Structure 1
Amino acid sequence: MTTPDGAPSLSDWTLTPSKVHLNHGSYGSVPRAAQEFQLELKARMDSNPCTWFMGQYKAVAAARAEVAAFLGVEAQHMALVLNASAGVSAVYNSLDLGRGAEIVMTNHAYGAVLHGAYRIARKYDGRVRIAQIPLEADAETATALVMAEVNDQTALIVLDQITSATARAFPVEAVARAAEAHGVPLLVDGAHAPGVLENPVPEFDGFWVGNLHKFACAPRGTAALVARGDRAACLTPLIDSWGFPYSFPESFDHVGTQDVTSWMAAGTSFRSIEQRYGWSTFRSYAKALCDYGEAIIGDAFADLTGQNHKVDAGMPVGPLRLIRLPAGLATTHEDSHDVRAFISERLDIETAVTTFNGEGFLRLSAHLYNSPSDYEFFAERAVPELVRLAGSL
């Protein structure tokens, strides 16, 4: 992939060339254009803080409209928040679930979102019910297993749109229809969806949160909370502010002296990628890269271990893939961090290592600055070292 000027696409980012970057899905990477615009905004803010902050809520409202257009939703249904977890917490804290309330989630849920659900369940003397979804489950099976946990005490369903640890999708539209039939609200954790899906926010009355700093490449600290239907009116920001006379989403526009220049620079990221490459090009290119990386890295492991390292993720996602690590590696969440650090510090490769049901996985995620040689390098340099590491355990 090259820029319109013929330079390597990596030149549109500021990633250090001494590392191979194969983990865009965790923290993202901000294009130069957005970095430069955010610095201009910060300079403007610091040149006259009084004027800046007195009018910041208007700039936030304008940024909100720009982000809403990118996501394909109406601005009146969307608020800006610092990250997906902040949006989830706003929903948790705003809903009145009632004593004995139960929250239904899956065993693929993101840790911070899961722990927040346990906190809220304790508040109401309720419980969290975990639907056990096999990694290879298809849409119909996943829907049935989620809804099997729903009963008269269910006050909320929380479902990943694209999972973090297992790099697969869930059938949020089907679950939304089934939840509506039971009168149960649905909260969709769409942290990885913006940029990955052409239409990331499904049509349903309920709640959706998504990070803009991952595949959509906005500056970090930028996320969206979408709420539709009667329950949207109950949403309040996590921090009380001068937005108290207003309802959702205007109440979220008032953020005091927080530096939210990241929100205002998000549109620059969206436009830069669209103008220089096209979002549809990103999606097709990233899928092809992950297909290639999955094949050559999986085969490299198999050649050394004699085992199958490819993973059936049930509902795979374009720019994300799982590869099974050699037995014994990353069998716990804590161990996965150690393996990731080993790959980064010893091998100069940034990637994600995850754990699910006691097995360790390499999670690949690709963006426009990646190339086939990145995955070839991993197969040649990292795979033998990881096999040796597993053998030493």
Structure 2
Amino acid sequence: MIFVGRYSKCSAMHTALEGEQPQTINDIACLCCLALCCLADHHHLIHSSQHTHTHIHHTRRRPSVIMAPTAEEVKAELLLEPGYVNLNHGSFGTVPKVVMDKHVKYLQRQEQRPDVWFRGQYQEIVAKSRSGLASFLDAPLESVCLVENTSTGVNACLRATCVREDDRVLLLGCAYPMVKNTTRALQRQGLCGDVVSVPVAFPISAQEEVTSAVEQELQKHPKGHFKVAIFSHIVSFPAMTLPVAELTRIAKDHGVSRVVIDGAHVPGHLPISVASLFDAGVDAYIGNCHKWLFCPKGTAVLCLAPGYQVYPTVVSSEWHLYQDDADDGTQGEAHGTTARQYVYTGTRDYTAMCCISDGIAFHTRLGGGDLMQRNLDLAQWGRERLVELFGTEAACPADMQPCMFTVRLPSDDADKAANLYAHMMEQHNTAVAVQMVDGKAWLRLSAQAYVTRSDIDTCAQHVLQYYAQ
């Protein structure tokens, strides 16, 4: 729920709107007072057929209560199977029906008139997707390149930056496996030198542990030793938010040429200003749109700071059109605009990218920034609840926790942890994320608009029963 004005701190209002009974005389008095105020202000409860949320309309400028859509209302707009409890939203996201309908229409248009579609029609729609993302992420439009997923963007950046055996890479020990695998592949191809992984031990008590560890590692080497550093904005597992602006400053102060941010989980998850990160020294920011922004799979964004030339990993027949000096002597149409090189990378399916504006619209309809805050509030509650029930600990402090929360399981038995995912899916139709990190077993759950406290509580009880067997 979103509370505005003098009712925002009223615990009775929160209790009532969450569907619970008032517990004290003060609660009842507050509710009565609110009812009288609403009548006096001529408030009328209305439900719009074009929106899923119910809100209070009032005729005078008075404090009001805006009711967010319930989890069940949101779930009704998604394609999730009835009875399926998705507490692992962070891995793959989910697509709303309205976005899927648009996706199908684009697929049909592509096949109805292929020549028209591929020779200009989809490019116009993709241009709107780029513009929408630029606004949503506060990124310069010319920096926004559309790619299939974060893996594609990270690969493009590392392959554009690491071109010699002495090009060294700095990353964190908690980096996503794709990042580590890409550097290993580059090493095998002779395109990358040493890769230094800065260890991060969990649980972590403060973000300074990460920034200090990075600075201490950089101080071991001469300035300019590393060609590129790559940091996660939200670590996938265990989930935590990192101070990427500060990490970038530290890296640049020690002569790191390029800083790449893996923001796979960020679009639609946390408020962000890519422009501000560019000002802080970030050279590239990559994020998925299919996870938290309600877009189809195969949608991600690569934002490149001015002066950072990163070619697509696939060079198509139209690549020369976007160069200042083409090999055949002709003048490139886009005069070197990097983002244009990503618009066409061969004949393939671009329809998912055409739906990005629709995903943003759905996210906005659920509240936009307010939705992100509600998800974070639910994650904070879930974190404390699981710590209490399991009698264990969270992976990071509250101020570093995103809308995914990671709590240590009741036992560090590796075999038990390895079988927990299958048990929860097969026995309880519930998706969770489980992983061993440094000999400790962790459970990660995601808080999204269709998840309830009851979902989290029930999951925790199932986990406790599993470990009691």
The higher relative CO (CA closer than 8 Å, separation ≥ 6) is in 1
Gaps of 5+ in 1: 303-307, 389-393
Q: Of residues 232, 240, 245 in structure 2, which corresponds to 1:168?
A: 240
1:65 matched to 2:149? The reply is: no
Note closer, same or farther for the CA distance 1:46–1:293 as it changes in structure 2 (3 Å cut).
Answer: same
The answer on 1:365 being equivalent to 2:438 is no
1:339-350 matched pairs, under 5 angstroms: 339-350=420-431
Counting only pairs closer than 5 Å after superposition, residues 135-284 of structure 1 correspond to structure 2 as 135=202, 136-150=204-218, 151-152=221-222, 153-184=225-256, 185-199=258-272, 201=274, 202-203=277-278, 204-230=281-307, 232-233=308-309, 235-241=310-316, 242-246=318-322, 247=336, 248-275=338-365, 277-284=366-373
- How far apart, CA to CA, are the structure 2 residues paired with 1:131 and 1:298? 28
Which whole-Å deviations, capped at 9, do the CAs of 1:23-73 have from their partners, x for residues lacking one?
110000111111111111111111111111111334333322222221110
Q: In the alignment, is the contact (CA less than 8 A) between 1:118 and 1:127 conserved in 2?
A: no
User: Residue 130 of structure 1 contacts residue 149 of structure 1 at CA under 8 Å; is this kept in 2?
Assistant: no
2: distance between equivalents of 1:292 and 1:41? 40
Task: Identify which of 433, 446, 454 aligns with 1:352.
Answer: 433
1:377 aligns with 2:377: no
Deviation string 1:351-370 (CA, Å, 9 cap, x unpaired) is 11122212111101111111
| Shift, 1:263, TM fit | 1.0
- 1:122-180: CA deviation from partner (whole Å, max 9, x where unpaired): 42361110111233152333122113333343111011110001101111101211222
CA distance in 2 between partners of 1:379 and 1:141 (Å): 30
- Cα distance 1:127–1:380, how it changes in 2: closer, same or farther (>3 A)? same
Gaps spanning 5+ residues in structure 2: where? 2-50, 55-68, 323-335
Cα deviations across residues 352-391 of structure 1 (Å, max 9, x unaligned)? Answer: 1122212111101111111111112112333211342xxx
Aligned pair partner of 2:148 in 73, 82, 87: 82
Matches within 5 A, 1:92-111: 92-111=158-177
Q: Which residue of 2 aligns with 1:18?
A: 83
Say which SS state the counterpart of residue 321 (structure 2) adopts: coil
Two-structure CA RMSD over aligned residues (Å): 2.1
Change in Cα spacing, 1:96 to 1:105, as seen in structure 2 (3 Å) is: closer
Normalised by the size of structure 2, how large is the TM-score? 0.76
Structure 1 residues 137 and 372, CA gap change in structure 2 (3 angstroms) = closer
- State which structure, 1 or 2, has the greater radius of gyration over its C-alpha atoms: 2
**Contact persistence 2:234–2:402 (CA under 8 A):** no
Name the SS for the 2:187 alignment partner: helix
SS of residue matched to 2:139: coil
CA drift of 1:11 comes to: 0.8
2:45: which partner in 1?
A: none
Could you tell me which residue of structure 2 aligns to residue 305 of structure 1? none
Q: Secondary structure at the match of 1:173?
A: helix
How far apart, CA to CA, are the structure 1 residues paired with 2:345 and 2:119? 11
Is the 2:393–2:407 contact (alpha carbons within 8 Å) kept by the matching residues of 1?
yes
Q: Is contact 1:243–1:253 with CA below 8 Å preserved after alignment? A: no
The change in CA–CA distance for 1:139 and 1:312 in structure 2 (over 3 A counts) is closer
CA distance 1:372–1:205, shift in 2 (3 Å): closer
Match of 1:328 in 2: 412
Q: How many residues align?
A: 377
- Distance verdict in 2 for CA 1:125–1:259, change over 3 Å: closer
Q: Say which SS state the counterpart of residue 146 (structure 2) adopts.
A: strand
* Distance in structure 2 (CA, Å) of the matches to 1:139 and 1:309: 17
